[in-house]
Structure 1
Amino acid sequence: MYYVRKLPLLIALASASATTMVSADNLNLDELVVTGTRSETSLLDLAGNTGKISESEIDLVRADHIEEVINRIPGVMIQRGNGQEHLTSIRSPVLTGGAGAGSFLFLQDGIPLRAAGFANVNGLFEAFSEQAGSIEVVRGPGSALYGSNAVHGLVNVITRAPSLDLERSIDMSVGPHDLYKTKATVSNTMGKHGYRLSFNGTTDGGYIDESGFDQQKLNFRYDYLGDVNSVTTIFTATNLNQETAGYTEGFNSYRDTHQVKATNSNPDAYRDAKSTRLSVRWDHDLSDDSYFTITPYFRSTELDFLMHFLPGTPVEKNEHQSVGLLASYTKEFEGGHKVIVGTDFEYTQGELSEVQEGATVFGRFVQGVHYDYDVDATVIAPYVHSEWQLAEKTRMTAGLRFEHTRYEYDNNTTGGLNFGAFQRPEDSNDTFNNLSPKLGFTHLVAEDTSIFTNIARGNRAPQTTDLYRIRNTQINGEADSEKVDSFEIGIRKVGNGIQYEITTFYMKKKDHFFRDSTGDNVPNGKTTHYGIELGAFIPLGEKFDLAGSFTYARHQYDFDNVGTDPNGSNSINDGDDIDTAPRHIGNLRLGWNIKPSSRLELEWLHVGRYYTDSGNVHSYNGHDLLNLRAQHQVNKNVTLYGRISNLLNTDYAERADYNYVNAFNNTDRYFVGEQAAVHIGASYNF
């Protein structure tokens, strides 16, 4: 049992020791994933979906922003804002605010990047994704091992393992608007001990006037592999200093001249963020068929930014520090059965302030301190995950998770009074208890093909901002835990030749808490989500291959809410499309391995039309883009690479939105996509 469980780590070490060169063999659908059970699992045995971006793809794409690599997975659409900002869609519309922060669980090596009630809508910029070993995405509610925020999906960035032999490399690249990137790593394994130290540094002068960012990331991993014990220690630190550009305003302004598109309507906007994380995972074998895993961890985050997207442009400052423990016991039984019993614990101290220094706007967005509060949060979540071999080719997965969340809120300003558009609740203690059952089946229809089905409930306790940063029109305490019931069925083929995964899904959500287009909170929304997702890899002879993903989905309101716009742009009607929810998105890549050491890839990106307001009055027509990238390994030490993004110089918007404040202040607005640009770089191993 011990040898089989540790073998994947040895394989990872061996693969990491060689110079990476992309080929058709390592761009296909990977047969092993780790996120669902926190251990290596064959895709054929997985009762549910998991999309995976391999180390080779990460090195080929060399993304300036994580959207460039993660959007290859079906059902996923990350919209880039300005700089390193983003909004996320995973089996969902693109969600914003507390809903955008709390509906997706962002992990690194299975540990949340942020505490459950203190999520960040731009949370992926804190992940060490640039030199990751892989990135896995679960669409829809996760397994019983994951709780709050794993409602619409989760993203797990997995740290690259140490190399077997000494590895030292430096990678440098240049791009448009004074974009410079440096990556460096040193790694080795000596006996039972292995390490990897990696650094990423980026400076970007900005595509938009008076914008740009500097970002640094450091990651250290130490592995110990003993006879009955293994230990993995991971430390990550990130720093971001960003001069943020706001939306470009005006109907179809993303099609205007570069001078207009590059205008920064919020030249004073900024975002400064710091984070540190430390985790130590200890695996101990008790016998040939049982082991336990304990992972204590610590995190600290700080964020300071100008809220340029709100009237009055207040400044928000927030931070939190957490200590946590993931503990589990795994027992395998004869006949192919397995049971995992565990508990997750986390304690967090957080604080937030929102201050508007400028003059009062519209009589509601008043000058002064809007909010200033502290929250202590405790999360305790016992769970059980089980797998049962019902027949030779049929396997059942069943799980149950109970999650207890308690917030202790302390208001540092005058409470119980409205302050313009804002309401500050009195001090309170709030508790949420959620139960999340899971049930799934897999059936092997051929040696390399299985069908699967999965029924799951996902829950999330409200974000602390949902509860304590509320508007004067909201009733204090009306936010409840959000619930999603999900059903999916699919088929997947792995191994040699054509590989694919086709999945259909249906989800119902209730108690959806979100902020409408006027900035007011809606606490009890209901929505419906259904669609079909396809991911495929097709070898075309020895040198060519075709890979891609396609999604058709409908995301609809399941309730009514009357808005204030006479034209209906901010009303919600039962059955209408949710805003920023294209019905179809796609990605297609044609690869050519010119020689064993050279690869060329042509990529087509498609985003369909979507509405930009909740009333389905205004819309964005979508776009199609072409990217071309190439990589050539000159010798064992030197690799050259380059790409042309937006090859046809298409006018497009990374994100389109319609903003309605009142009859005198409403407009279409866009985060403008970049024009055609050339990026070149080289890596050197020594």
Structure 2
Amino acid sequence: MTLKPLSPLSLLATAVALHSAMVNAADEQTAKIERIETTSSRITAKAGAQGYLVSSITDETLSLLSLQHIQEALNYVAGAGVQRGNGQEYLPALRSPVLTGAGACGGILAAEDGIALRAAGFCNINELFEAHGEMAERIDVLKGPASPLYGSNAIHGVINVITPDTTTGQGLLSYDYGSFGFNRIKLRSGKDFTNSGIGINASMTRDNGYRDGEGVDQEKVNLRHRLNLENTTVTTGLTYTNLDQDTAGYITGFESYKDEDIAQSNPNPEAFRKARSMRLWSKVEMGFEGGHQLSVTPYLRDQSMDFLMHFLPGKPLEENAQKGVGVLSQFNYIVSSTFNIDVGVDAEYTEGELMQSQNAPTVGSAFLVETVPVGRHYDYDVEATLLAPFFALNWQKGNWDVSVGGRFESMQYDYINNMNVGRVREDGTECGFGGCRYSRPESGKNDFDNFSPKLSASYQLDDTTQLYLGVSRGYRAPQATELYRLQRAQQVADLDAVTATNYEVGINGLTNNGRYSLAVYSLRKDNVIYRNSDFFNISNGETWHRGVELTLSQAITDKWSVDIAGSYARHTYEHSQLQGETDIQGNDIDTAPKLQMNTRLNYDFSSAVRAQLEWQHIDSYFTDAENANEYEGHELLHARVSFALTDGVVIAARVNNLLDTEYADRADFTSFTGPRYFPGRPRNFMVSATFDL
């Protein structure tokens, strides 16, 4: 399977040609902190049950931030603890420890405009770099398995990047310049023809990076077309992204990130990642007599990625690709003024392929040299079919708003192994020390059927206060990499779907000149997939995730305001497993800081000048399952100021890591390397100029 993307030159030519025909933008729409369209409903502006909240990072916030990496924005969400890797890489966390491992990305659904970035069985731990977060209208975060709209891969929640509707005529041209050779051009423009419209949203980034031999070249574009017919709106969008990254690997040694020379070094100058993605979709929304509404969104994906796995012995090359088609739907039927029904069917078909190969002998111990051979390690194709009907019964009366629903999902894999079977070399010879590290199962089929009930309810206590609760079950089917990339003596991965039961209660409301949200949750996961001491992928793990989250936005005076997003949580192993000589049952899961806080103090000098000081606190956390090694945590200060020279020209400056703190974006521990880190960037700046079109 070969991906044939649009070339960057053709995209640039399209952008220039389209831009020349554009007109001045309309006024920006006012965004709210909690949104109910797109992420909690596919029907625009449909108000559903409020037994769960969608936290949004708004356009105003994103504009002041001008993020270089999506982790910077997700810091603003209580319960999100995304860790930045090198370049555009990251490891996700949402009401969870930081997720690692082959299929861990299946715990959080990443989407753009409501469409998952990857097919359900083919997630990638870094997949959010395929969304256009740099030019988003907002970023929505739905926590926990709350909504029947989302099934497999949404156990801990959904991160949904919403791109702007450029067909209404809004536009801008912006240039960002920053430390370490960071340059970025952003363009947004469109033309509104009343009953139709067309627009573009594009960015091009060049970042030389802080560390030796690293760098990022990245291009992203969203094209959109809108057509208004009688009682029907058809919106069509295309997203194309291209990433060409030279990657810097982990540095090793206890607290080595505090040594400037080591922190700036790159032990893996040969590492790289090249990724391309294309998504094409068309959303049809229809209104009917009686207020009934229908939304149908067919889509297709085409993606490929090559990257050097510098963190593994032998540094193999992975080449993966997938292409597929799918459809999302939702029909809202109005029974009465107090009762309505949502029904829909989601379907998807995907063809995926993966090859892992090594072109040079492994360097290391005699054991590693013998068991990690040159040649192909894996070479397989997978066809995946997903079918998922869902429903929700919604009742609103008086102060009550209740929704009861469920989602059934059937996932089927047809796996074809293109190599010999077992733990032998590509030429069929056996490795010493009991066999090769990598094991390939025979071709075969796997299927997983799951049902997830959902209950959400809210009660309007008064004009300013709302109480809510939710009880839901979530699941994720095993990912293809967990089923078919086996190790050691394992010949078949007999895995069950991971399931999760979530309970949540909360209160949200308004204060004088502010708003707040307080949530308490408990989520227990069963059949958790992990690799045991024999390197077998098994699914009898249990974990418990519970915590309290506070979000507050409050005006202190006419000029001063504060935004707070904080969480205190515990994430523990609940199953018995020996890690070395330690039973980890009851231990904290590694890379799970208990306390995380983000506070932003805002000061408006005038209507044209705004300043912000951000404080970020990451608590200490264990870096291994035995809880024997620890990262001390860190605190960072960031400063920002924006100045509107005229109604259409804004100049902004930002200083990240204002106090030049020595810290690690990520810390972990392995028995091979000991402590290892992705060092954080020292003090750095960015200046921007934005012009309305």
User: Which of the five TM-score ranges fits, normalised by the shorter chain?
Assistant: over 0.9
Q: What is the CA-CA distance between 1:80 and the residue it aligns to? A: 0.6
* AA matched with 2:667: A
Partner SS, residue 92 of structure 2 = strand
Of 311, 314, 337, the match for 2:313: 311
Distance in 1 (alpha carbons) for counterparts of 2:80 and 2:643: 30
Partner SS, residue 303 of structure 2 = strand
Matches within 5 A, 1:211-360: 211-256=214-259, 258-360=260-362
Matches within 5 A, 1:63-74: 63-74=67-78
Of 639, 661, 669, the match for 2:650: 639
Matches within 5 A, 1:506-517: 506-515=522-531
Matches within 5 A, 1:542-621: 542-564=558-580, 568=581, 571-621=582-632
Matched, 1:155 2:164: no
2:42 touches 2:330 (CA, 8 Å); kept in 1?
Answer: no
Tell me the residue number matched to 2:635.
624
Matched, 1:18 2:18: no
1:517 touches 1:613 (CA, 8 Å); kept in 2?
Answer: no
Of 525, 530, 551, the match for 2:541: 525
Of 430, 436, 448, the match for 2:452: 436
Tell me the residue number matched to 1:4.
none
Of 393, 397, 404, the match for 2:399: 393
Distance in 2 (alpha carbons) for counterparts of 1:124 and 1:398: 31
Q: What is the CA-CA distance between 1:173 and the residue it aligns to? A: 1.2
Of 480, 497, 502, the match for 1:481: 497
Which digits, 9 at most, give the CA deviation of each residue in 1:486-517, with x for residues without a partner?
00000011486220010000011011113479
Partner SS, residue 133 of structure 2 = coil
Partner SS, residue 64 of structure 2 = helix
Tell me the residue number matched to 1:501.
517
Q: Which deviates more, 166-175 or 99-108?
A: 166-175
* AA matched with 1:685: D
Distance in 1 (alpha carbons) for counterparts of 2:43 and 2:665: 36
Distance in 2 (alpha carbons) for counterparts of 1:92 and 1:171: 36
Q: What is the CA-CA distance between 1:394 and the residue it aligns to? A: 1.1
Distance in 1 (alpha carbons) for counterparts of 2:231 and 2:134: 32
Q: Which deviates more, 621-630 or 181-190?
A: 181-190
Q: What is the CA-CA distance between 1:418 and the residue it aligns to? A: 4.6
Question: How has the CA–CA distance of structure 1 residues 162 and 168 changed in structure 2, closer, same or farther, with 3 Å as cutoff?
Answer: closer
Question: How has the CA–CA distance of structure 1 residues 71 and 642 changed in structure 2, closer, same or farther, with 3 Å as cutoff?
Answer: same
Distance in 2 (alpha carbons) for counterparts of 1:498 and 1:17: 28
Matched, 1:449 2:465: yes
Which digits, 9 at most, give the CA deviation of each residue in 1:587-610, with x for residues without a partner?
000001111121100000010010
Partner SS, residue 673 of structure 2 = strand
Which digits, 9 at most, give the CA deviation of each residue in 1:157-203, with x for residues without a partner?
11101364x44421111111111111011123121112220111111
Q: What is the CA-CA distance between 1:293 and the residue it aligns to? A: 1.5
Q: What is the CA-CA distance between 1:50 and the residue it aligns to? A: 1.7
2:50 touches 2:401 (CA, 8 Å); kept in 1?
Answer: no
Q: What is the CA-CA distance between 1:70 and the residue it aligns to? A: 1.5
Tell me the residue number matched to 2:9.
none
Q: What is the CA-CA distance between 1:523 and the residue it aligns to? A: 3.0
Identity of aligned residues (%): 36
2:503 touches 2:522 (CA, 8 Å); kept in 1?
Answer: yes
Distance in 2 (alpha carbons) for counterparts of 1:526 and 1:450: 33
Distance in 2 (alpha carbons) for counterparts of 1:187 and 1:61: 24
Gaps of 5+ in 2: 1-23, 426-435
Aligned Cα root-mean-square deviation (Å): 1.9
Distance in 2 (alpha carbons) for counterparts of 1:227 and 1:253: 64
Distance in 1 (alpha carbons) for counterparts of 2:586 and 2:150: 31
Distance in 1 (alpha carbons) for counterparts of 2:161 and 2:527: 29
Q: What is the CA-CA distance between 1:98 and the residue it aligns to? A: 2.8
Which digits, 9 at most, give the CA deviation of each residue in 1:393-421, with x for residues without a partner?
11211111100000000000001445511
Question: How has the CA–CA distance of structure 1 residues 225 and 542 changed in structure 2, closer, same or farther, with 3 Å as cutoff?
Answer: farther
For normalisation by structure 1, the TM-score amounts to: 0.92
1:142 touches 1:154 (CA, 8 Å); kept in 2?
Answer: no
Matched, 1:183 2:193: no
Which digits, 9 at most, give the CA deviation of each residue in 1:602-653, with x for residues without a partner?
0000100100001000010100000001111100231100100000000000
Matched, 1:376 2:392: no
Distance in 2 (alpha carbons) for counterparts of 1:628 and 1:645: 6
Question: How has the CA–CA distance of structure 1 residues 33 and 553 changed in structure 2, closer, same or farther, with 3 Å as cutoff?
Answer: farther
Question: How has the CA–CA distance of structure 1 residues 204 and 125 changed in structure 2, closer, same or farther, with 3 Å as cutoff?
Answer: same
2:38 touches 2:113 (CA, 8 Å); kept in 1?
Answer: no
Hey, which of these two has a bigger chunk of strand by percent?
1
Tell me the residue number matched to 2:413.
407
Of 475, 481, 489, the match for 1:465: 481
Question: How has the CA–CA distance of structure 1 residues 540 and 365 changed in structure 2, closer, same or farther, with 3 Å as cutoff?
Answer: same
Distance in 2 (alpha carbons) for counterparts of 1:168 and 1:293: 27
Partner SS, residue 268 of structure 1 = coil
For normalisation by structure 2, the TM-score amounts to: 0.92
Tell me the residue number matched to 1:140.
144
2:486 touches 2:493 (CA, 8 Å); kept in 1?
Answer: no
Q: What is the CA-CA distance between 1:475 and the residue it aligns to? A: 5.2
Partner SS, residue 262 of structure 2 = helix
How many residue pairs are counted as aligned between the two chains? Answer: 655
1:194 touches 1:222 (CA, 8 Å); kept in 2?
Answer: yes
Which digits, 9 at most, give the CA deviation of each residue in 1:364-386, with x for residues without a partner?
22222110000000000011022
Which digits, 9 at most, give the CA deviation of each residue in 1:558-610, with x for residues without a partner?
0121134xxx5xx5511100000000101000001111121100000010010
2:208 touches 2:215 (CA, 8 Å); kept in 1?
Answer: yes
1:224 touches 1:231 (CA, 8 Å); kept in 2?
Answer: yes
Distance in 2 (alpha carbons) for counterparts of 1:326 and 1:99: 24
Partner SS, residue 98 of structure 1 = coil
Distance in 1 (alpha carbons) for counterparts of 2:512 and 2:60: 18
Which digits, 9 at most, give the CA deviation of each residue in 1:47-73, with x for residues without a partner?
113211111111111000001111101
Of 627, 634, 649, the match for 2:660: 649
1:306 touches 1:316 (CA, 8 Å); kept in 2?
Answer: yes
Distance in 2 (alpha carbons) for counterparts of 1:516 and 1:51: 36
Tell me the residue number matched to 2:432.
none
2:111 touches 2:161 (CA, 8 Å); kept in 1?
Answer: yes
Question: How has the CA–CA distance of structure 1 residues 518 and 476 changed in structure 2, closer, same or farther, with 3 Å as cutoff?
Answer: closer
Partner SS, residue 254 of structure 1 = helix
Tell me the residue number matched to 1:10.
none
Q: Which deviates more, 483-492 or 324-333?
A: 324-333
Question: How has the CA–CA distance of structure 1 residues 408 and 498 changed in structure 2, closer, same or farther, with 3 Å as cutoff?
Answer: same
Matches within 5 A, 1:160-179: 160-162=164-166, 164=168, 166-179=169-182
Q: Which deviates more, 217-226 or 628-637?
A: 217-226
Q: What is the CA-CA distance between 1:90 and the residue it aligns to? A: 0.3
Question: How has the CA–CA distance of structure 1 residues 517 and 240 changed in structure 2, closer, same or farther, with 3 Å as cutoff?
Answer: farther
1:450 touches 1:492 (CA, 8 Å); kept in 2?
Answer: yes
* AA matched with 2:345: T
Q: Which deviates more, 142-151 or 640-649?
A: 142-151
1:439 touches 1:455 (CA, 8 Å); kept in 2?
Answer: yes
